[in-house]
Amino acid sequence: MRRFAPLALVLLTALTGCGHMAPLTAGQQILSDLGVMADLPTIGAQIDKAKLGVDAAGTKVSKLPTPGGVKAVTFLTYKALDNNLSDQLPEHMNVLERAGSSTNVNAIALTDGSDKGDTREYYIRQDGDFKAITSPYHAVGRGGELDSGDAASLARAVKWGAKSYPSRFRWVDVNNHGGGYYGICQDEDTTHIIRLPQLAGALASAGKIDVLSFDACLMATAEVAFELRNAAKVLVASEDESFALGMNYDVTLAALAKQPQVDALAMSRDMVLRANRKGSDARLPTISAIDLSKAEGVKGAVDQLAVALLKALPKQKATILMSLNAVKAFYVAGPDKSDFDHRDLHEVVTQLKARVQDPGVQAACAAVQGTLFNRGGVVVMSRSANSESKITRGLSIYLPVNGNVDPVYNDTAFAKATHWDEFLAALK
């Protein structure tokens, strides 16, 4: 799947108070800004006591340090990079070390690259070396290797973070290739990938997450949101492709260190603004914050739409297809050379409403739009910086207009709970 170049550091914003924004400097100034928020003194002592040596992966220890007690925030990133993204791992780690852990924030990672025996757990520390990894780590898995395309490995990481680094607020990030309904976390060694039902179970294995972010393509979809509605409160993801280094995690961590009393919705808005700030040359194609508590409403409205379209299809198939084809698809090539065909849901119903003169379809289109953007809608905020900026509104849906429905799709909770898969098959 295609990925974009690393995200440049730009002037960004941080949370203050109840979601208000204040300027926060980025890049080289992060460490000096965090001077009063340095990590606990006991962490350094624990690292020195457990130190086994230093290598290119960081400081190898027999046991990772733990702060003791409950911090305000824990950030866990699951970097399933056992694929063609492996070479980017050192840069990922150095970006995280610009802010690292602090008195208020635990920053931890599980990483898996393409080498044998390179699965590691990290406690991420602040440092001023932007080229070398210095954080403490230890190997995990049999022979130092886990299958990062296995939901059990993700569940293990989520439980480890919650148990070893308890906090009042939990932010989990998943970094890999994404395919929307198809799943995420492709491990090229095993050829495994975590499907949506397994993803939901793994993420929810240690309780509901406050903010869940995907540094991966195509994950801001109706299917993903519905599947993960019980796993997290808010989702931050892209309808389209994503950057290799995602959403300036170092700046978010620095902001949280200073303002740890954070609200999930306010933080997600800030992440959208930060990742796609106007005037930047390094913006995500699309990025949105999605209130997963509203995913049930989207499911119901789309089901109403699918039923209405099925009824109208015998007489208006040509018009319906014309409407759907008017919406540009987001897709990237999958591991099996297939295309994951997604289209912006708001634009889909906009085109249908404009063309299909059927009372049931008209009412259903209005219902879908209502769940997206009205007060309390599922899309908290969305931004776009690509050629489709006028039509992308934050949430896509699987829509192969040729009627060739991927069998994987039928196993998603969304397909099982709606008539959308039946409608797609009827397009053939």
Least confident of 13-27, 176-190, 269-283: 13-27
Using the predicted structure, report yes or no on whether residue 18 has a pLDDT greater than 60. Answer: no
In a 3-state reduction of DSSP, which class is residue 383?
A: strand
Q: Mind listing the pLDDT tens digit for each residue in 56-67?
A: 999 999 999 999
Nearest CA among 187, 208, 200, 194 for reference residue 86:
187
CB 35 within 8 A of CB 271: no
Higher pLDDT, 338 or 249: 249
Can you tell me the distance from the alpha carbon of 78 to that of 82, in angstroms, rounded to the nearest whole number?
12
Summarize the confidence of residues 244-269 as an average pLDDT. Answer: 84
Who has greater pLDDT, 382 or 184? 184
Return the closest-CA partner of residue 7 out of 270, 264, 241, 266.
241
Instruction: Please give the mean pLDDT across all residues of the chain.
Output: 85
- SS in 3 state form for 18-59? CCEEEEECCCCHHHHHCHHHCCCHHHHHHHHHHEEEEECCEE
| 2 vs 139, higher pLDDT | 139
- Amino acid 30: pLDDT: 47
- 376 three-class SS: coil
Confidence at 390, pLDDT banded by 50, 70, 90:
low
> Which whole-number Å values give the CA distances from 253 to 44, 51, 76, 97, 170, in the listed order?
20, 26, 11, 10, 12
- Strands (E) in 334-390, as ranges, are 342-344, 379-384
Pinpoint the alpha helices (H) of 204-263: 222-227, 249-258
pLDDT score recorded for residue 23: 30
In the chain, % of residues over pLDDT 70:
84
CA–CA distance, 428 with 422 (Å, rounded to integer): 11
Does 305 score more than 70 pLDDT?
A: yes
Q: How confident is the model at residue 27 (pLDDT cuts 50, 70, 90)?
A: very low
SS3 397: strand
User: Quick check: helix, strand or coil at residue 304?
Assistant: helix
Whether 269 contacts 381, CB under 8 Å: yes
Residue 317 in tokens: 């198939």
Contact 276, 384 (CB under 8 A): yes
Instruction: Domain ranges for the chain, please list them.
Output: 12-294, 295-426
Tokens of 124: 């991420």
Rounded CA-CA distance 43/46 in Å is 5
**How far apart are the C-alpha atoms of 73 and 411, rounded to whole Å?**
34
- Taking Cα atoms as reference points, which of 174, 190, 179 lies closest to residue 340? 179
Lowest model confidence (mean pLDDT) among 122-126, 286-290, 364-368: 286-290
pLDDT at 15 over 80: no
Taking the C-alpha atoms of residue 118 and residue 77, their distance in angstroms, rounded to an integer, is 16
User: CA 98 to CA 79: how far, in whole Å?
Assistant: 17
Contact 413, 196 (CB under 8 A): yes
Mean pLDDT of the region 14-36: 36
Amino acid, single-letter form, for residue 99: A
Q: What is the pLDDT of residues 49-89, one digit of tens each?
A: 999 999 999 999 999 999 989 999 999 999 999 888 888 89
pLDDT(388) > 70:
no
**pLDDT at 24 exceeding the cut of 60:** no
233: its two tokens: 């409160």
- Please give the distance of CA 310 from its chain centroid, rounded to a whole number: 33
* Predicted pLDDT at 367: 96
- Give residue 331's pLDDT: 62
Give me the pLDDT at residue 286, please.
85
The mean per-residue pLDDT over the stretch 275-282 comes to 51
Rg (CA), the chain: 22
Q: What local confidence, expressed as pLDDT, does residue 350 receive?
A: 96
Rounded CA-CA distance 340/31 in Å is 41
Secondary structure (3-state) at 135: coil
pLDDT of 227-246, one tens digit each? Answer: 999 999 999 999 988 766 65
Res. 312: pLDDT tops 70 = yes
CATH number of the 12-294 domain: 3.40.50.11970
> For residues 182 and 86, is the Cβ–Cβ distance under 8 A?
no
Mean pLDDT is lowest, of 10-24, 137-151, 203-217, 403-417, for 10-24
